[in-house]
A and B are shown apart, each in its own frame.
Chain A
Amino acid sequence: MTTDLAPERRDTTPATARVAARVTDLVKTYGSGDTAVTALKGVSLDIAAGEFTAIMGPSGSGKSTLMHCAAGLDSVTRGSVQLGDIELTTLKEKDLTKVRRDHIGFVFQSFNLIPTLNAEENILLPLSIAGRKPDRAWFDQVISTVGLGDRLGHRPGELSGGQQQRVACARALVSRPEIIFADEPTGNLDSTSGAEVLGFLRRSVDEFGQTIVMVTHDPGAASWTDRVVFLADGRIVTELREPTPERILETMKSLDAKVQG
């Protein structure tokens, strides 16, 4: 990850974009024998750099599993996951930890901040774990974008849910990862706070050229993205570009009909 990548990405268009992550024929089976459950049945997907991608699908469709596998949090049964030039499926635990540390950012549904550290320390955590010095200018820019300037000294317990999630977003951004995975980032938030967080994610894509993959089941949230990929029963069924809430809802309905029919 180099610092001069950001401005370059800003101008890329989806059609010619560099691929930030590539998933090929991904199969994920839990358990074995009679009790085996196949969550992903051969998924292939390219995530373009500088794009905000949503993954949607009904419960049990495999969307979370897809994200976990793509982010190197879970092992795969078959297939390949590439992050930039790195093949994740063959990496050892130690190298995988390094990849997560240096190339991936996470935002979780339940914030997952360290309660003993204040907001600033939480944001800088990935950098200090890696033993890297934060880029002050970048840090200030991130902070002003998230709008947390006056809350930096507070501990998570003293922040609202929305503020906590914004801290989590800032934490994901500050190490300038190639890709950020967000797992239902607005799931625990009211609509106003949710909108703030989504707005922030959107801006980081537009202004900093950040690549973001977000798993959600909320059409409203998904409409902030550039591209929505629909999963059903462990397979990609369709996708939308420049989505609106209405088009997403329609697609979901038609998917439901297909699944039931």
Chain B
Amino acid sequence: MLRASWKSLMARKLRLFMSAFAIILGVAFVAGSFVFTDTLGRSFDSIMTSTVGDVVVRPVAAGQGDLESQPSTATVPGSLVKELADVPGAARADGNITNFGTFVVGKNGKLIGGFGPPGIGVNFTDGPAAKGLQPFTLTSGHWPQANGEVVLDEKTAQKAGYLVGEKINLVSSGTQPRIQAKLVGITRMEGGTAGASISVFTTEEARTLFMEGKDVYSDVWVTAASGTSQEELRDAVAAKLPKDYEAVTGDSAAAAAATDVQEALGFITTFLLIFAGVALVVGSFLIVNTFSILVAQRSRELALFRALGSTRRQVARSVLFEATVTGLIGSILGLGLGVVIAMGIRALFGQFGLDLSGQSLIIAPRTIVVSLVVGLVVTLVAAYLPARNAGKVPPVAAMRDDAILAESGMRGRTIVGTILSAVGIGLLGAGLFADVPKATYWVGAGILGIVLGVALISPLVGRPVIAGIGWIYRKTFGAVGLMAQQNAQRNPRRTGATASALMIGVTLVSMMAVFGASAKASVDEAVDKEFVADYVVSSVVGTPFSPEVTRELAAVKGVDQVAAFRWDQVTVKGSDRQVTGIDPSHIGVLGPTPMVAGKLAGLTTTTVSVSEELAKAEKLSVGSKIDLTRGGTTKPFTVGAIHGDSALLSSDYLLSLPALESLGGPKTDSYAFITREAGASAVQVGRDLDKALADLPVVTVKDQGEFADEQRAQINQMLYLIYALLGLAVIIAILGIINTLALSVIERTKEIGLLRAVGLSRRQLKRMLRLESIVIALLGAALGIGLGVAFGVALQRSLADDGIDVLAVPWPQLGFFVALAGLVGVVAAWWPGWRASRLDILRAVTTE
């Protein structure tokens, strides 16, 4: 029996490949995301081990928080460093100064580095990292010995085009935004820098640049004397530390830092796994279909097995065996493709500046096991129903010509589909509009439920669509159109499942299209109605910039007001909340903010403005006391104002800049908003602002229109990335249509032969298949756009309070999707049509 299925499998390698393709893609995404995450983790593990000493002493505030918030400005006094060197078990102690906003300006005047990896400025010490590791190896020149000397890491120096001995330009988020120094050496960092740039200065100069000239450090490395373990040294150091400072072992500090990075980059894994899920769901439709058709085609053969004494179970098992082989081959190929995908992502990240080429790809046993299991399980689950149906073939079918597996009733299917959709709607609604924990999971499960539910009832809900298209077909194409429509209706489930595969991709694409259009429309409206500032200053790499920039721009002729603006995070009652630091004296520049109580201009170092929403939820009013925590610092604040939503000020908490700094908040600006003096020339002021920032490529100034364009461009960029990945789901769906049509052609060989015999030309035959294919594709598109628009509207409604308050449905774009689906139909029909038209008429007519 198994031999027979093996032979049947090998006889149809192409079919095997087509159904395995979906599995290959799905598994590839799973494997790719694991390989990439592991590689990322390992490279940061190795980088981080050289960024810690045996024991790290730091302000408690610095150890808190994560990469989402800005680094703490709390410091360690220089006097403590000397004391720590004398702790028993310590060989030495070195104070480190670290700044995360120091970038090198290349020879061409452009900034080296991109969105994400930091530009790190440090002081030079010859203290070893943990376990005696030397973090830096000098490859040429010497370490900085005097002020005005700098050493760069080799990749950065190479990208910038600087040679040892040259004068170089740097920009910094410290008190001096521009730095000029002489490049005196090149260093290589242990484990690579993952795209970060590193500039090394003398301790004295680093202090001037980054610590406002004070004798303080960011943290201290205490090196263990031989024979002392990290833990022993930590305990000895901890005993000496005043309050507000902590000592951690290098191992745990490195692990924590690496974990932070991985968590921050975790969205990539999630993103990839979502697409893996989409690909696998779409793929499973393809597999159900392929195996159903297969069973239908082989029903006579299977009946013969039954007549010869095979049990139902044996017959079903033979089909499952075929599925196992398909699943296994698909998974193995998918695993291979996954490694390629991981390489692709790594290369893509390299483009954006996160350079991981120092670390070879890691294919963990877990990756292999998970990939194979996922691929196999999905295939087997999808093939289960067709296999069970195969077992139900009556033995007598072997004796009859026309005994084809009858499609069982639609009732059970309709009921299950309806229930699934209803449950899905409930989950989606709860996830979007109710306050449930892990709302994303609810939304995901809801969408999956609705999609599967609609896929189940698609043969039913698709009827009017097919009938409508069929009517046009009959009017336009006569008999050929009629036959195309009827062929599409012949196996409603097959058509439904094939269309559903396309539906999933179209649903998600349309949902994102509606969401993206709404987001863009919201940005436009916000800029249009609420934007008062004439110019916006922002960082080109996403890191905050020196407050000196704001001060300099205020002096530019024709500038009226400049308002600094800082994003940060505080902890309130244990949960992280977004806070915005504002300049109360220039609050008007940030646009009209509807106030419920108090005035933003009246904010002091001890008062905070809370959002209307938060005030309601927490029952706060002017005069209420709340504690805000940042890092280890907690301070009491009084509610001084309650603000409504506006485009820029949507955070729950608004603090004055000095208040935020007193909590250890950043002394760097995220944005600066500028208004022009009445009567000043827009062109002239814009040009002057550009000139003022010409030697500071880390920031750019944009006018209202450019700012809106930039926001829109960011949304578009996200959309295009999602479209590109969803494009893969559409490709799987195209393969599904090809597969279904190709198998249908084989099933209808005799009919096609007859049609050709009675005079159907090849062209007409191809047209017939093309029309059938287009029906399937358009059905998928219609269902998908219906669902996608509904999901998109729901998503927009749920985010209306978070700034996406304008609903825009991009009808032309959706129309384009429909046209594209039609094209998909045309493309998918090409190969089956070609094959059908090449059928030998005589053999086709007389085939059994």
Binding site for B on A (CB under 8 A): 68, 73-74, 93-94, 97-98, 100-102, 105-106, 108, 110, 112-117, 121, 124-126, 128-131, 157, 171
Contact = CB atoms under 8 A, between A and B. Distances in A.
B754 A97 contact: no
Contacts of B750: 110, 112
Contacts of B757: 73, 100, 106, 112
Contact of A116 (B487, B758, B841): B487
B758 A106 contact: yes
B764 A129 contact: yes
Given A100-B757, A102-B759, A108 B845 contact: yes
Given A100-B758, A117-B482, A117-B486, A112 B751 contact: yes
A98 B759 contact: yes
A91 to B, nearest CB: 13
Contacts of A130: 759
A94 B765 CA distance: 12
B756 interface: yes
Interface string B470-508: 000000001110110011011000000000000000000
A106 B750 CA distance: 14
Given A73-B842, A110-B401, A131-B478, A117 B759 contact: no
Contacts of B465: none
Given A97-B756, A112-B750, A112-B754, A128 B761 contact: no
A98 B490 CA distance: 28
Nearest to A65: B842
Nearest to B750: A112
Contacts of A97: 756, 759-762
A129 B751 contact: no
Interface in B354-401: 401
Contact of A125 (B402, B756, B758, B845): B758
Contacts of B487: 116
Contact of A126 (B402, B483, B758): B758
B755 interface: yes
Given A73-B757, A73-B845, A116 B762 contact: no
Contacts of A114: 483, 751, 754-755
Nearest to A73: B842
Contact of A115 (B479, B751, B755, B759): B751
Given A112-B845, A128-B479, A101 B755 contact: no
Given A73-B841, A117-B482, A108 B760 contact: no
A131 B479 CA distance: 8
A217 to B, nearest CB: 16
A128 B842 CA distance: 22
Contact of A129 (B402, B479, B753, B842): B479
A157 to B, nearest CB: 8
8 contacts: A68-B842, A73-B842, A101-B758, A101-B759, A106-B757, A115-B490, A129-B764, A157-B402
Given A116-B483, A117-B482, A129 B845 contact: no
Given A68-B842, A73-B842, A125-B479, A108 B754 contact: yes
Q: Does more than half of chain A's interface fall in helix, strand or loop, or is it mixed?
A: helix
Contact of B755 (A102, A129, A131): A129
A101 B750 CA distance: 17
A179 to B, nearest CB: 14
Contacts, number: 75
Nearest to A68: B842
B195 to A, nearest CB: 61
Across the A-B interface, the 3 shortest Cβ-Cβ residue pairs: A101-B759, A128-B479, A116-B486
A97 B763 CA distance: 11
A115 B760 CA distance: 17
B746 to A, nearest CB: 16
B758 A171 contact: yes
B483 A117 contact: yes
A129 B762 contact: no
Contacts of A68: 842
A112 B761 CA distance: 18
User: Which of A68, A94, A100 has most chain B Cβ within 10 Å?
Assistant: A100
Contacts of A110: 401, 750
Given A114-B751, A116-B483, A116-B487, A129 B841 contact: no
Contacts of A105: 758
A121 B755 CA distance: 13
A123 to B, nearest CB: 11
Contacts of B841: 73
Contacts of B480: 129
A68 B843 CA distance: 11
A96 B692 CA distance: 81
A124 B487 CA distance: 18
Given A98-B761, A106-B757, A112-B750, 7 more contacts: A73-B845, A114-B754, A126-B758, A128-B479, A129-B480, A129-B764, A130-B759
Interface string B832-848: 00000000011001000
A74 B486 contact: no
A94 B766 CA distance: 14
A148 B762 CA distance: 31
Nearest to B486: A116
Contacts of B402: 157
Nearest to A171: B758
B490 A129 contact: no
A101 B765 CA distance: 14
Contacts of B490: 115-116
A73 B753 CA distance: 10
Contacts of B762: 93-94, 97
B400 to A, nearest CB: 12
A124 B401 CA distance: 25
B261 to A, nearest CB: 61
A129 B486 contact: no
A188 B145 CA distance: 104
User: Which of B479, B480, B486, B487 has most chain A Cβ within 10 Å?
Assistant: B479
Contacts of B751: 112, 114-115
Contacts of B483: 114, 116-117
Contacts of B755: 114, 125, 129
Contacts of A129: 479-480, 755, 758-760, 764
Contacts of A108: 754, 845
B842 A74 contact: yes
Contacts of A112: 750-751, 753-754, 757, 845
Nearest to B756: A97
A108 B482 CA distance: 23
Contacts of A128: 478-479, 482
Contacts of B401: 110
User: Which of B483, B490, B758, B845 has most chain A Cβ within 10 Å?
Assistant: B758
Contacts of A113: 754
A157 B402 CA distance: 9
A15 B756 CA distance: 35
Nearest to B481: A128
A178 B486 CA distance: 31
Nearest to A103: B759
A110 B848 CA distance: 10
A244 B762 CA distance: 43
Interface string B446-484: 000000000000000000000000000000001110110
Contacts of A100: 757-759
B471 to A, nearest CB: 16
Given A112-B751, A115-B751, A116-B487, A121 B482 contact: yes
A121 B756 CA distance: 16
Nearest to A168: B754
A239 to B, nearest CB: 25
A165 to B, nearest CB: 14
Nearest to A155: B486
A89 B487 CA distance: 34
A94 B761 contact: yes
Contacts of B489: 116
Contacts of A93: 762
Contacts of A117: 482-483, 486
